[in-house]
Amino acid sequence: MDKRKVKNIAVFASGRGSNFAAIVKAVKAGEIKANLALLVCDNSKAGVLKLAQQAGVKSVLAKSEEEISRHLEQNKIDLIILAGFMRILSPDFVRRHKNRILNIHPSLLPAFKGAHAIRDAFDYGVKVTGVTVHFVDEKMDHGPVILQEPAKVSASDTLQSLEAKIHKIEHKLYPQAIRSYLEGKLKIRGRRVK
Ligand code: GRF
C-alpha cells in the first residue's frame, strides 16, 4: 500500500448497521482518516442500506465473491471492515486480501465463536464476556487479535441489557482498531499483534 495517499475503506454488513454508523461517525469526525468508499451488503432488507444512503456512502448489493471483488477493484479498496457480514468469505478471497480484512466479534475470542455469541455467553452464565477486533484469516472468528475489551455480566443483566453493553463497547473499539491499522501501528507476528 502507498503510505501517503488516503486509504479507501469498505464496510461489509448484512444487518442493522450500528457498527457501520459508528464508523461513519468516526470518519466524519476525522478520528478515522480514510475515505469510506463503499458499503458491501448481501441483504436487500438490511437496515444498514438506509444508513448508507442517509450518510451519502455508496452501497452495493452483492451476493457472490466475484461481484464483491469487482466492486473492490473498481473502488480501489485498501481495507475491508466486516461489521456483521453474515457470509463466510472463502479461503481464496481471504488469501487475496491477506492482513487487509478486519472483523469485530461480540465475545472474548476464542470463547463463543459463531453467529450468536452474546446469547451463547449469556446462556452459559459467564460473569465476563466482551468484544474482540481481529484480523480475518481462513478460519472463522480466528485470526490474530487486535483489541479486546471485557464486559461484566451482572446478576441483574438481561440478554437485552448485555447486548446494549456489548454494542456500546463495539462502537468505541472498532473505530479505535481501524485507526491504529490506518496509522500503520499494527505489526503482526504470528498470532500476536503489536
Ligand atoms: C455486531 O455485534 C458484531 O460484533 C457482529 O455482528 C453484529 C453487527 O451489528 N459481528 P450491527 O449490524 O453493526 O448493529
Q: What pLDDT is recorded for position 101? A: 98
Locate cell 480475518: which residue?
136
Question: Which residues line the pocket of ligand 1, CB cutoff 6 A?
Answer: 13, 15-20, 83-84, 104-106, 170
Q: What cell does 119 get?
A: 446469547
pLDDT 10s digits, 31-40: 999 999 999 9
Instruction: Tell how far the Cα of 93 is from the centroid of ligand 1, in angstroms.
Output: 21
42: CB partners within 8 A, 6+ apart: 14, 61, 62, 63, 85, 86, 87
Task: Check: CB of residue 113 under 8 Å from CB of residue 44.
Answer: no
In this prediction, residue 5 carries a pLDDT of 83
pLDDT tens profile 128-140: 999 999 999 999 9
Catalytic residue (choose from 105, 116, 142, 171): 105
Atom 6 (ligand 1): residue with closest C-alpha? 84
Residue of 73, 64, 136, 149 lying closest to 103 (CA atoms): 136
Three cell numbers written together for 10: 469498505
Question: Cis (ω within 30 of 0) for the bond into 110?
Answer: yes
Rounded Cα distance, 55 and 52, in Å: 5
Per-residue model confidence (pLDDT) at position 67: 98
In this structure, which residue's CA is closest to atom 14 in ligand 1?
18
Is a pLDDT exceeding 50 seen at residue 57?
A: yes
Is residue 105 annotated as a catalytic residue, yes or no? yes
Q: Read off the pLDDT of each residue in 141-169 and give the average, rounded to a whole number.
A: 98
